[in-house]
């Protein structure tokens, strides 16, 4: 049964100024001493601690405490010199947003219709962790279950209940943090983030404020080939654990919050473990944002830390967008964009918002750009204002009194690191060393099962005979005494797997490539026949449907149908001469300048051989004959050589 909550109950709750929910007399009495002591702590120690921490990070060091931290036992001048070096290093720890806030150079960059702008884009991504239970209770979570059936007194915030952190949440959060090259803090803590909303049953959210689990990371992102290719590095400011809120189902009207007559609260999702990942504002356009989102989803899926489904809310991205004149250090007014259910929609929303803000500035209406939350209207391809932000929200953070600080020892972090699987960027680098083109790598890496299947095909070389193994890279002679080229079976396999084989998997609606009747060892044999010129690519195309339908050995099928490629120069020369002698008028026309007739002769040669001629050798011999003055047998030895 769903629980209806009105807006009036939410507003009445929000008027309370207490930091702890007084649910009954017993709870109030238990919290009252802590309330009083925390008020004093908040006014004195906490603010002073945060202030000094910020001062030290910014490298100002004006207080006695900071001077003591930076001083040494050396002379006063040496101490001052050391302090200045520490200050310079400390400035590097500032986020780009903090650096922007420290500088106000807006007067130096007047804006008019000719001003060139550059965007500032950052993302906050909420990743729902794939754990057996919710973050702080034993309830399971399954998307789409009946409303309010996966709840308990703990996740509903009943009096007298205490949260207990699930170890699985920490493990998966640390895995993601390491994958993002973050520093894993040995000590982090949980805080209560106070705000009142109908889908938040406790009236606060357990999160991490000033001591997050992960900080100072980066992620190398590959731009898809169809988007122009290239790569960029995105800084990760922090990643912290928190619990999810419930979900409101809007009833009446058009089904959205602005037209609904009332809303029903479903608390199944309340308390589900989340990892919020905050980036630096390093993005330049929508395609970089979409590529970042896709790479992050690959990472969490490879780690089995989340399913990353945007449609189910397992991965939610909120984008902050602003523009500023080129060269200005101070960021523009930040606008948050929500409710984008695909990466393509995310890219379109960002590009639209950048264009909207630039037009307003150039039209002299910059004051209309205000700090607000906007939603993406996919039907009309534009962003629409949801609510204004008068200022920074006062969430009244304070340490969660019912949870101890989270301690991740170095030993634990190293154990997690060693147990992690190969990540997308590592696989990408490995495939590049094999000589695979970026397009094939992009297709392979999108599906972890496809990567495993590809690796299994390459590993089949160990069970193949030495005469046809991929390790036969040194140059030698084939059975027709022709010089063999260097074999790159990895590239050949990737080409056939990402095109013909994957198309067959999708057409037949198979779960994965592992369901093909043509097994990895047989695919390896098929690709090797083509790579070593035993059959042509055209013959490969002809026999592949039968192999996919029935499975079995490609070599056996080629031998059965006598389809092996003709690579003997003597035999090819004989076929080419026969074709030219049977088509003398066309030969004369070619030698008079109608060079397009070459395709005619190639077709005749292939038809005469049943499509079995080696293309490169045939082209070489045919061109020699076409450009020769005569077709005498005396030229044969010269042509063959």
Measuring CA to CA, how many Å separate 241 from each of 566, 582, 595?
Answer: 64, 79, 70
Share of the chain above pLDDT 70, in %: 78
**What's the pLDDT at 40?**
40
632 vs 67, higher pLDDT: 632
Measuring CA to CA, how many Å separate 588 from each of 572, 591, 604?
Answer: 21, 5, 16
pLDDT tens-digit map of 459-485: 987 655 444 434 344 344 454 455 555
Sheet holding 204-207, edge to edge: 204-207, 191-194, 398-399
314 vs 562, higher pLDDT: 314
Q: Which two tokens stand for residue 142?
A: 């399954």
φ and ψ at residue 529, rounded to 5 degrees: -60, -40
Rounded-to-integer distance, Cα 384 and Cα 558, Å = 62
Of the spans 3-7, 34-38, 84-88, which averages the highest pLDDT? 84-88
Question: Given a cut of 80, is residue 63 above it in pLDDT?
Answer: no
**What's the pLDDT at 196?**
86
Q: How confident is the model at residue 46 (pLDDT cuts 50, 70, 90)?
A: very low
The answer to whether the CB of 492 falls within 8 A of the CB of 524 is no
- Find the distance separating the first CA and the last CA of the chain, reported in whole Å: 86
Q: How confident is the model at residue 419 (pLDDT cuts 50, 70, 90)?
A: very high
pLDDT tens-digit map of 560-586: 888 887 888 888 899 999 999 999 888
Q: How confident is the model at residue 594 (pLDDT cuts 50, 70, 90)?
A: confident
Whose tokens are 């993002």? That residue is: 180
DSSP class of residue 115?
-
In the three-class reduction of DSSP (H, G, I as helix; E, B as strand; rest coil), residue 189 is classed as: coil
DSSP class of residue 186?
S
563 vs 171, higher pLDDT: 171
**What's the pLDDT at 447?**
92
Sheet holding 214-222, edge to edge: 183-184, 214-222, 231-243, 273-279, 117-128, 315-325, 335-338, 372-377, 382-388
Rounded-to-integer distance, Cα 600 and Cα 66, Å = 85
Pairing type for strands 335-338 and 372-377 reads parallel
Question: Mean pLDDT across the chain, nearest whole number?
Answer: 81
Residue 222 sits at the vertex; the CA angle it makes with 219 and 226, to the nearest 5 degrees, is 155
Rounded-to-integer distance, Cα 522 and Cα 552, Å = 7
Residue from 499, 497, 483, 578 nearest 533 by CA: 483
Rounded-to-integer distance, Cα 487 and Cα 509, Å = 33
**What's the pLDDT at 628?**
79
φ and ψ at residue 155, rounded to 5 degrees: -75, -15
Question: Given a cut of 80, is residue 309 above it in pLDDT?
Answer: yes
Q: Which two tokens stand for residue 207?
A: 């999160």
Average pLDDT over residues 451-465: 81
**What's the pLDDT at 484?**
52
Question: Given a cut of 50, is residue 450 above it in pLDDT?
Answer: yes
**What's the pLDDT at 354?**
94
Average pLDDT over residues 290-308: 95
Whose tokens are 């026999």? That residue is: 543
25 vs 561, higher pLDDT: 561
372 vs 463, higher pLDDT: 372
**What's the pLDDT at 53?**
43
pLDDT tens-digit map of 217-256: 999 999 988 888 888 999 999 999 999 999 988 888 776 6
Question: Given a cut of 60, is residue 22 above it in pLDDT?
Answer: no
Residue from 344, 349, 356, 358 nearest 380 by CA: 349
Rounded-to-integer distance, Cα 65 and Cα 42, Å = 20
**What's the pLDDT at 335?**
92
Average pLDDT over residues 30-58: 42
Question: Given a cut of 70, is residue 1 above it in pLDDT?
Answer: no
Q: How confident is the model at residue 291 (pLDDT cuts 50, 70, 90)?
A: very high
Q: Please classify residue 588 by burial: count the beta carbons closer than 10 Å to its beta carbon, then call 0-12 exposed, 13-18 middle and 19+ buried.
A: exposed
DSSP class of residue 483?
B
pLDDT tens-digit map of 77-125: 444 554 555 444 444 456 777 777 777 777 777 888 888 999 999 999 9
Of the spans 338-342, 384-388, 526-530, which averages the highest pLDDT? 526-530
pTM here? 0.77
Q: Which two tokens stand for residue 404?
A: 């101890």
Q: How confident is the model at residue 15 (pLDDT cuts 50, 70, 90)?
A: very low
């Amino acid at each position: 049964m769903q629980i209806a909550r009105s807006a009036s109950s939410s507003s009445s709750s929000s008027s309370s100024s207490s930091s702890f929910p007084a649910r009954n007399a017993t709870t109030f009495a238990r919290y009252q001493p802590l309330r009083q002591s925390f008020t004093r702590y908040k006014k004195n120690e906490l603010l002073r601690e945060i202030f000094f921490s910020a001062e030290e990070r910014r490298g100002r060091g004006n207080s006695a405490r900071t001077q003591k931290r930076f001083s040494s036992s050396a002379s006063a001048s040496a101490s001052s010199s050391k302090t200045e070096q520490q200050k310079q290093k400390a400035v590097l720890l500032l986020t780009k947003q903090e650096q922007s806030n420290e500088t106000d150079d807006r007067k130096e960059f007047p804006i008019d219709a000719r001003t060139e702008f550059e965007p500032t884009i950052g993302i906050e991504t909420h990743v729902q962790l794939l754990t057996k239970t919710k973050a702080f209770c034993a309830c399971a979570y399954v998307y789409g279950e009946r409303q309010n059936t996966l709840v308990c007194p703990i996740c509903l915030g009943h009096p007298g209940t205490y949260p207990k952190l699930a170890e699985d949440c920490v493990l998966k959060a640390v895995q993601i943090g390491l994958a993002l090259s973050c520093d894993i803090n040995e000590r982090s803590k949980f805080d209560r983030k106070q705000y009142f909303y109908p889908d938040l049953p406790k009236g606060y959210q357990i999160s991490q404020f000033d001591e997050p689990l992960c900080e100072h990371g980066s992620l190398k992102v590959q731009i898809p080939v169809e988007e122009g290719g290239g790569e960029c590095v995105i800084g990760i400011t922090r990643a912290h654990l928190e619990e999810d809120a419930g979900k409101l189902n809007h009833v009446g009207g058009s089904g959205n919050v602005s037209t609904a007559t009332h809303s029903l609260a479903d608390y199944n999702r309340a308390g589900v473990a989340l990892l919020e990942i905050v980036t630096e504002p390093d993005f330049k356009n929508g395609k970089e944002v979409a590529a970042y989102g896709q790479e992050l989803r690959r990472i969490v899926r490879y780690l089995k830390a989340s399913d990353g489904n945007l449609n189910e809310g397992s991965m939610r991205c909120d984008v902050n967008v602003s523009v500023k004149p080129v060269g200005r250090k101070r960021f523009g007014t930040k606008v948050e964009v929500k409710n984008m259910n695909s990466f393509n929609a995310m890219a379109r929303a960002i590009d639209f918002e950048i264009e909207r803000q630039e037009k307003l500035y150039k039209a002299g209406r910059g004051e209309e750009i205000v700090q607000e939350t906007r939603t993406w209207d996919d039907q009309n391809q534009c962003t629409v204002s949801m609510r204004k932000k008068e200022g920074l929200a006062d969430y009244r953070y304070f340490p969660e009194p019912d949870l101890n600080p989270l301690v991740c020892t170095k030993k634990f972090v190293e154990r997690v690191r060693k147990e992690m699987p190969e990540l997308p960027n590592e696989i990408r680098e490995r495939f590049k060393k094999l000589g695979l083109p970026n397009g094939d790598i992009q297709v392979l890496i999108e599906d972890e099962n496809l990567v495993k299947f590809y690796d299994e095909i390459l590993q089949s070389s160990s069970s193949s005979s030495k005469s046809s193994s991929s390790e036969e890279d040194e140059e030698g002679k084939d059975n027709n005494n022709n010089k063999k080229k260097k074999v790159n079976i990895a590239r050949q396999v990737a080409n056939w797997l990402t095109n013909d084989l994957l198309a067959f998997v999708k057409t037949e609606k198979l779960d994965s490539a592992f369901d093909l009747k043509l097994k990895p060892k047989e695919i390896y044999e098929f690709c090797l026949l083509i790579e070593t010129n035993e059959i042509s690519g055209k013959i490969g195309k002809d026999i592949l449907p039968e192999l996919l339908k029935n499975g079995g050995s490609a070599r056996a099928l080629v031998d059965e149908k006598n389809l092996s490629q003709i690579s003997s120069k003597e035999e090819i020369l004989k076929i080419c001469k026969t074709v030219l002698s049977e088509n003398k008028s066309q030969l004369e026309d070619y030698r008079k300048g109608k060079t397009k007739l070459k395709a005619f002769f190639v077709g005749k040669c292939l038809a005469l051989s049943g499509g079995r001629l080696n293309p490169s050798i045939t082209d070489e011999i045919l061109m020699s004959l076409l450009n020769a003055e005569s077709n005498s047998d005396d030229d044969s030895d010269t042509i063959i050589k």
